Amino acid sequence: MNTNLFDQFLIPSLLGASLLAPALLMTLILTPTPKNLWLPHPAATIKMWLISQITKQIMAPINKSGHKHSLTLISLLVFLLLTNLLGLLPYTFTPTTQLSMNMALAIPLWLMTVLTGMRTQPTTSLAHLLPEGTPTPLIPILIMIETISLLIRPIALGVRLTANLTAGHLLIQLISIATLNLWPIMPPLSLLTLTTLILLLLLEFAVAMIQAYVFVLLLSLYLQENT
């Protein structure tokens, strides 16, 4: 049993080598690849139908000029979804609980949306920094506020994903420790905490999927503003 609750978030290593890369590659191994069959596997059919529906929902508000980024956004969604769900299995490591990794995903993709707007419609992109009808004395203050809010976006993306997954993992560990410690003393109370743990696991499965969707959805909204 870990003496420190945060030990579960340390990157595992084997013979001094980090196992972060193998943990990330597990998502590629578990992703079914399309095959040249007249009747594909039902799991592959369901997967393609879900991806098609999610793609339509995410890309519908975006102009046609931004549809070329659909492959990037959907690939990111599948990657985050599988990574978050795999981290809920016993004796596994969740790479998306690392703030450094989430920021490494958020900053380049956010910068891509900003540069897309600056390249295709610079006047409209800069107009977002100053709402229409702003009084003249408030113009410098509002420009500073809008600029800061723009720069905070990638930080909010990375911190939101990290905080939600980290909090869920901590709660699962705390309740599981309480269940084991209460079993020899008060079995009925231990069964109650076990029921709570099972319900929390179901909630965490939903949170893992929702957070992956929210991450990609916010990126699509940023892209919508700049296309």
- Model confidence over 209-218: pLDDT tens digits? 999 999 999 9
What residues are paired with 14 via a beta bridge? 17
Write down the pLDDT at residue 126. Answer: 79
Which residue in this structure is represented by tokens 């139908």?
A: 49
Domain-wise residue ranges, the chain: 42-226
Q: Where are the beta strands (DSSP E) in the chain?
A: 13-14, 17-18
Name 136's Cβ contacts closer than 8 Å, sequence gap at least 6: none
| Identity of the residue numbered 135 | P
- 37-41, 151-155, 164-168, 180-184: least confident range: 37-41
Give me the mean pLDDT over the 153-180 stretch.
Answer: 89
pLDDT on residue 117 = 84
Q: What is the pLDDT of residue 1?
A: 46
Q: What is the mean pLDDT of the chain?
A: 81
Helix axes 70-86, 99-120, angle to 10 degrees: 170
Instruction: Identify the weakest region by mean pLDDT among 12-26, 130-144, 153-167.
Output: 12-26
Amino acid at 25: L
